[in-house]
Amino acid sequence: QSVLTQPPSVSAAPGQTVTISCSGSTSNIGNNYVSWYQHLPGTAPKLLIYENNKRPAGIPDRFSGSKSGTSATLGITGLQTGDEADYYCGTWDSSLSAGGVFGGGTKLTVL
Amino acid sequence: QVQLVQSGSELKTPGASVTVSCKTSGYNFNIYSINWLRQAPGQGLEWMGWINPNTGIPTYAQGFTGRFVFSLDTSVTTLYLQISGLKAEDTAVYYCARDQRVIQFDYWGQGTLVTVSS
């Protein structure tokens, strides 16, 4: 059972927009930065978003992040078949002595 | 360029030990912590903890105390994950990842598959 809650799956057609939610609590998302990762099978996860809404160099602006209260959202516009992957949110949980926590992951299918 | 290169896949029997290495290069080793994460088959990412590159002091997440040991060798800028008393449920891909701040993993190793089977 993951500390952060994500939908198991989302789907959309190429060119469309999709959002992936990540729900937590005041001890984690509510008071800490959220990061998002894209994980393609057989590869290492890739950092897409850090500090809630910042993109590392090289990440296209089709990917965006936001946070409100104890929830965060990853948005992907102009969906491409190459976006089909698992997506994870992560943050620190201040209620834990060692508090790195992740969501269970969301499988994005591009129809 | 920043690189984290992990050791290769391992097949172990229950009760054995395994060491996974993570060789880093291309950045100041002392500035960034290295975290360890794992992904069991069909499961999501799980944070195992981190090690301070300056002090070598490890911090373990709940569930990763006792049989799991993080260590490092600054002379070769390499981190190590040792797992003892292996169990079938330790079968997973283990990743090392550089943390640019707190749970902001900007560079990852390629992953090491550890399979525990009799």
pLDDT digits (tens, 9 = 90+) for A7-19: 999 999 999 999 9
* Two tokens, residue B107: 């560079």
Average pLDDT, chain A: 95
Task: Give the nearest partner residue to B103 out of A43, A97, A100, using CB atoms.
Answer: A100
User: Hey, are the CB atoms on A105 and B108 less than 8 Å from each other?
Assistant: no
Using alpha carbons only, how large is chain A's radius of gyration in Å? Answer: 13
When pLDDT is cut at 50, 70 and 90, the band that residue A96 belongs to is confident
B114 CB neighbour count, 10 Å cutoff: 19
Q: CB of A32 within 8 Å of any CB in chain B?
A: yes
> CA-nearest residue of chain B to A44?
B110
Is residue B88 pLDDT above 90, yes or no? yes
Integer angstrom CA distances of residue B60 from A55, B26, B111: 28, 26, 19
* Two tokens, residue A11: 């789907």
**Nearest CA-CA distance, residue A28 and chain B, Å:** 11
Pairing of the two strands B92-99 and B33-39: antiparallel
Task: Give the nearest partner residue to B44 out of A88, A91, A92, using CB atoms.
Answer: A88
pLDDT at A99: 86
Q: Which of the 8 DSSP states describes residue A87? A: E
Q: B90's torsion region: left (phi>0), alpha (psi -120 to 50) or beta?
A: alpha
Is residue A42 pLDDT above 90, yes or no? no
* CB B73, CB B82: distance < 8 Å: no
When pLDDT is cut at 50, 70 and 90, the band that residue A41 belongs to is confident
Q: Which of B103, B105, B110, B113 to mutate to test the interface with A (most CBs of A within 10 A)?
A: B103
Report d(CA B18, CA A79) in Å as an integer.
41
Let me know if A36 is exposed, middle or buried by CB neighbors in 10 A (0-12, 13-18, 19+): buried
User: Hey, are the CB atoms on A98 and B62 less than 8 Å from each other?
Assistant: yes
Does residue B20 sit in helix, strand or coil?
strand
pLDDT at B115: 98
Is residue A98 pLDDT above 80, yes or no? no
Q: CB of B103 within 8 Å of any CB in chain A?
A: yes
